[in-house]
Structure 1
Amino acid sequence: MQAAANSTPDQDLVIDGADLSNVTLVGKVVSCAERAGNIDLQISDGTGVISITYFVDSVDSDPQAVPQKVAELRPGTYVRTYGHMRAFQGSWSISAFAVRVVHDFNEVTYHCLQAIFQHMHLAKGAGTGTGGATQQQQAGINSYSGPAAGGWQQKPQQQQGGGYGGGAPVAGPPGMDPCASAVLQVVSDPNTGDSGVHVNDICGRLGPRGFARPQVEAALTFLQNEAHCYTTCDENHWRAT
């Protein structure tokens, strides 16, 4: 809220010296309503309330997708959302590409601890530069596979050079099929840049491993629905969350 008060619509939000564009937020649903085929949410994370517009990808193929999602996101439910910060008429909101219900309250605790850690690292541990913070944030994000049975489980460490781009590959959560896990490795490459990896490049990398394009596209849809990746500059470029 302080960052929004100190910024203008033509600027990115700046928190602890770092530009804020893509965000993940965990909080409680205050209100939820359908509007023009999308979902308008008000989410409170304990520090304030922010508006979220959620664009449901499956609405074209399933007319009931939005009503079902509205019923799922009832007020009082804790959710995690991923999206982009947007400024409109002097106020900030989130344009979300994924919203999912939190089933394990450990995720809420973890998110609060991660927010504290990132604040302390950016404010005190990284000096004035953001390069170290970016690497630390990437390491922190890639160290967890998400809530599983019994709470958060740390991903296994793998040898340097095993993944794409020379970095350590990102392991998918337990039970993820091999194609989805392989796609997640590709889109998690830290050297892909802001635009991410083109689907043709993903298919080219995974083709020799026996994964056909329909499998790759199905895996991308699955990963997006599970909030593991998202599209960037267009629907063909992908990055890991």
Structure 2
Amino acid sequence: DGTYVRVNGHLQTFQSKRQLNAFSVRLVTNFDEVTCHYLECIHFHLQNSKVQSKANEGSVLASQAPDSSFGTPVRGASNGHHPASTNDFSMQYNADGLKSFDKLVLNYLQQPSN
């Protein structure tokens, strides 16, 4: 619906399944926050691309690679470290105690990626 939200949490992969632990979900009230997010995505994409190209040349040790947990996952895309999966979440969550806006966010996150 054209509404932006900030979700703080951890995205983890275990046995090729992704799990999202969201600590907070809030509305974005200042569009500068969205712009800053896009700039961060570009920065980390370029940083990861540079590390990958150097790794292909054999000049970078794996311990020097940046932590990929800072990257922002894109639905249905790969960030170069984890392959895209058909569904980012392996289980459905009970949303009975959530507010209506939180339910919208949860429903969006549970959509299959196509």
Give the TM-score taking structure 1 as reference length.
0.21
Relative to its length, the structure with more strand (as a share) is 1
User: Larger RCO: Structure 1 or Structure 2 (Cα < 8 Å, ≥ 6 residues apart)?
Assistant: 2
Give the TM-score taking structure 2 as reference length.
0.40
